[in-house]
């Protein structure tokens, strides 16, 4: 069994819904947390995100929820 298959099977045992959705939500949360850390600590990340056009509306709201929780 590959690492990805094992991760999916573990998630299937853990949640009673689509394991792909659950894994994607976990990944999205981890990415947003990392962005939150990097944005506060690294000027280069802030500049790069600003040049890229910021976050889309959906992820901006998700980021705000995380930052203001």
**pLDDT value at position 41?**
92
At 69, list the tokens: 């929780």
User: pTM score, two decimals?
Assistant: 0.67
Domain with 60 in it:
3-67
The model's pLDDT over 36-69, given as tens digits with 9 standing for 90+, comes to 888 889 999 888 888 888 788 888 888 888 877 6
Domain count, the chain: 1
Average pLDDT on 17-41 reads: 87
Query: What one-character-per-residue DSSP string does the chain give?
Result: --HHHHHHHHHHHH-SS-HHHHHHHHHHHHHHHHHHHHHHH-HHHHHHHHHHT---HHHHHHHHHHHT-
Rounded distance between C-alpha atoms, residue 66 and residue 69, angstroms = 5
């Amino acid at each position: 069994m590959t690492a990805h298959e094992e991760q999916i099977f573990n998630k299937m045992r853990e949640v009673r819904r689509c394991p792909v959705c659950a894994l994607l939500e976990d990944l999205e949360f981890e990415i947003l947390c990392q962005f939150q850390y990097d944005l506060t600590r690294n000027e280069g990340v802030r500049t790069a995100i600003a040049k890229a056009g910021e976050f889309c509306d959906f992820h901006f709201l998700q980021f705000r929820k995380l930052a203001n929780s």
